[in-house]
A = this chain, B = another copy of it.
Amino acid sequence: MRYLEDFEAEQKFGSSRVCVESARIKSFAIEFDPQPFHLDEDSARDSLFKGLAASGWHTAALTMRLLVQSELKPAGGIIGGGLDEMRWPRPVRPGDELHVESEVLEVRRSKSRPDQGVIKVRTTTLNQNEQPVQMFVGNLIVLRRPVSSGKAEG
Q: Which residues of A contact B (CB under 8 A)?
A: 28, 31-37, 47-49, 55-58, 60-62, 64-65, 68, 76-88, 136, 141
Contact = CB atoms under 8 A, between A and B. Distances in A.
B77 A88 contact: no
A61 B33 contact: yes
B84 A48 contact: no
Determine chain A's interface SS by DSSP, over half rule. Answer: mixed
Contacts of A68: 33-35
A34 B65 contact: yes
Given A32-B62, A32-B65, A57-B64, 7 more contacts: A33-B65, A34-B68, A35-B77, A48-B76, A61-B61, A83-B83, A84-B85
